[in-house]
Amino acid sequence: MGGVLVDLDIEDCKRAFKEDMGYHDIDDIIDACHQKGIYGDLEEGTLEADEFRRIVLSASRPGAVPEDVDKAMWHILVGIAPYKADMLKRLAESYDLYLLSNNNPICLPCSARMFEQAGIPLEEIFIKCYFSFEMKALKPSEAFYKAVIDDIGIPAEDMLFIDDSMRNVEGSVKAGLPAVFYEPGTDLDALMTAVLEERGW
């Protein structure tokens, strides 16, 4: 989801935590693809959202409230480029689409609203969504990909995974799921067209 379909702004998220809340440990727990510490625990589903908020607030300036934590986290989400929404609609006419995402219960509702506003509600455009905090596993762990492959129930060689992290792509391939790297900011539609043509799909 993030980095491929939803554009991200890591630096604005860090700025919001520091300037709006006085929380300066954000640099230690967030980066472009693989979150660490309590943020990683939140996305792996081993830390509840309320506990995450409590820990962040304990290291923030006095007066900060749980809603401030959520708002700061939402600054990481920029939006969905219109051409990507059109691309998904077109692809959904010919292919079964699934979403695999390292995600968390604080950012997911905001992301879901972005999909709705783009005219592609998650429940309509994707057959099923696999979120790390629900699966208790993070990409690029083999357990994540194996669980998805088993649940979808078709041969892995008939699937294709797209990710903006080379580590996630390599983990997917190692688990037997063909994958392609997408560089954020480049033309995703052109990449998909080229890859599908190459595979004869």
Residue 174 confidence (pLDDT) above 80: yes
Question: Thinking of the domain 81-199, which architecture would CATH place it in?
Answer: 3-Layer(aba) Sandwich (3.40)
Where residue 35 falls among pLDDT bands split at 50, 70, 90?
Answer: confident
Class of domain 6-77: mainly alpha
Structure tokens at 159: 């699937």
What is the pTM (predicted TM-score) of this model? 0.94
The pLDDT score that the predictor gives to residue 31 is 79
Mean of the per-residue pLDDT values for the chain? 96
The pLDDT score that the predictor gives to residue 154 is 96
- Domain residue limits, the chain: 6-77, 81-199
Rounded Cα–Cα distance for residues 20 and 196 (Å): 44
| 34 vs 38, residue with greater confidence | 38
DSSP annotation string for 77-115: EEEE-HHHHHHHHHHHTTS--EEEE---TTHHHHHHHHH
